[in-house]
């Protein structure tokens, strides 16, 4: 394994100087994002589910998720980080195996969350930490660099508050996680608190109420990485909804998009 996308990916994580992790949902979107200047690509479990005709939260299998991630790795020269949900398992050793398989796909990193899927509840603190420790041990045994992001999703899922999220990500960071992530805390002030509580880079989500903030606001909070999750995929579906309703009724005036030539050029540029 001579190719090491993890090292360059790790170097992008600078607290207070965040890069944008551009979440793609298929090869075409990955290449267009690369051509437009993205520095790294992230997968989105919801966006990928949409391409399969499934709702957000649908249980995609580990094999499906990794095959999809491998497609995005091959799509562009950029480093790719995968949203691997809860690692597709509860047992720590199974989560570690997911991380090893992710590295074999050529990924630069991945995230593992503490949601006890397929439900919305969180794993107990001790089990959540044990799972992260197993994932970290797997990354440390790899022959190349790999960025492991430990997610505390209980605030997003309504399972616990910000104080518990901070307790969890602090423990994850102390265990050796390379980056931590609390999706959708109540405020930018809470994101700043999370950044101040840990000694590792923090990922923040630009979605929902946080789209009102710019990169400079996330930088001031201490964020190292800004992802958009399924937000961009949902923007494309909004475009379909907004244009297709009138189209089906016989009004085609909303069908104004990028030219074929423009899209073709971006797809070619993004593959280089």
Distance CA 10, CA 14 (A): 9
Task: Look at residue 57 in the predicted model and tell me its pLDDT.
Answer: 81
Q: What is the pTM of this model?
A: 0.95
> What local confidence, expressed as pLDDT, does residue 59 receive?
83
The answer, yes or no, to whether residue 2 has pLDDT greater than 60, is no
- Evaluate whether 136 touches 148 at the Cβ level (below 8 Å): yes
Instruction: Let me know: does 191 contact 202? Beta carbons within 8 Å.
Output: yes
> What is the Cα 132 distance to its own chain's centre?
17
pLDDT in the model for residue 73: 98
Q: Say which DSSP state 122 is in.
A: B
Average pLDDT rounded to a whole number, residues 184-210: 98
Alpha helices in the chain (DSSP H): 5-11, 27-35, 45-51, 62-75, 92-104, 125-140, 154-157, 162-175, 188-197, 215-221, 231-248, 260-270
In percent, the amount of the chain with pLDDT more than 70 equals: 99
Mean pLDDT of 250-258: 95
Mean pLDDT across the chain, nearest whole number? 96
Measuring CA to CA, how many Å separate 37 from each of 156, 161, 214? 30, 36, 17
Q: Could you report the per-residue pLDDT of 49-81, keeping only the tens digit for each? A: 999 999 988 889 999 999 999 999 999 999 999
Task: State the DSSP H helix or E strand holding residue 24, giving kind and residue range, or none if neither.
Answer: strand 19-24
- pLDDT at residue 170, rounded to an integer: 98
pLDDT at 146: 98
In the DSSP assignment, the letter for residue 78 is: S
Query: What domains appear along the chain, each with residue ranges and CATH number?
Result: 5-270 (3.20.20.60)
Provide the 3-class DSSP secondary structure of residue 81.
strand
Q: Dihedral, CA atoms, 258, 261, 262, 268, nearest 10 degrees? A: 130
Is pLDDT of 3 > 80? no
Q: How confident is the model at residue 1 (pLDDT cuts 50, 70, 90)?
A: very low
Distance CA 43, CA 65 (A): 9
pLDDT for res 187: 98
Q: For 187, which DSSP code?
A: -
At 4 the pLDDT is 87
Distance CA 88, CA 60 (A): 9
CA distance 195 to 166: 9
Distance, in Å, from the CA atom of 231 to the CA atom of 206, rounded to the nearest integer, reads 8
pLDDT at 219 over 60: yes
| Residue range 203-230: mean pLDDT, rounded | 98
Q: Please determine, for residue 240, whether its predicted confidence score (pLDDT) is greater than 80.
A: yes
């Amino acid at each position: 394994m001579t190719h090491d996308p993890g090292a360059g990916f790790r170097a992008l994580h600078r607290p207070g100087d965040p890069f944008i992790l551009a979440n793609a949902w298929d090869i075409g979107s990955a290449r267009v994002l690369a051509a437009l200047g993205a520095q790294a690509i992230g997968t989105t479990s919801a966006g990928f589910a949409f391409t399969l005709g499934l709702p957000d939260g649908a249980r995609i299998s580990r094999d499906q998720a990794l095959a999809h991630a491998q497609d995005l790795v091959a799509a562009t020269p950029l480093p790719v980080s995968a949203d691997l949900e809860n690692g597709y398992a509860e047992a720590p050793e199974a989560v570690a195996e997911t991380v090893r398989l992710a590295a074999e796909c050529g990924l630069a990193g991945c995230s593992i969350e503490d949601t006890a899927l397929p439900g919305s509840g969180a794993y107990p603190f001790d089990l959540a930490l044990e799972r992260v420790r197993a994932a970290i041990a797997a990354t440390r045994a790899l022959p190349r660099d790999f960025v492991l992001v430990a997610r505390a999703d209980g605030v997003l899922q309504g399972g616990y508050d910000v104080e518990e999220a901070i307790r969890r990500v602090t423990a994850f960071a102390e265990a050796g996680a390379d980056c931590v992530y609390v999706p959708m805390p109540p405020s930018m002030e809470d994101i700043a608190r999370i950044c101040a509580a840990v000694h590792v880079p923090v990922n923040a989500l630009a979605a929902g109420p946080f789209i009102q903030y710019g990169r400079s606001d996330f930088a001031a909070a201490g964020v190292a990485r800004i992802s958009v999750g399924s937000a961009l995929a949902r923007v494309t579906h909004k475009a379909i909804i907004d244009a297709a309703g009138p189209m089906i009724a016989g009004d085609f005036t909303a069908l104004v998009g990028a030219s074929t030539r423009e899209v073709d050029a971006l797809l070619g540029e993004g593959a280089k």
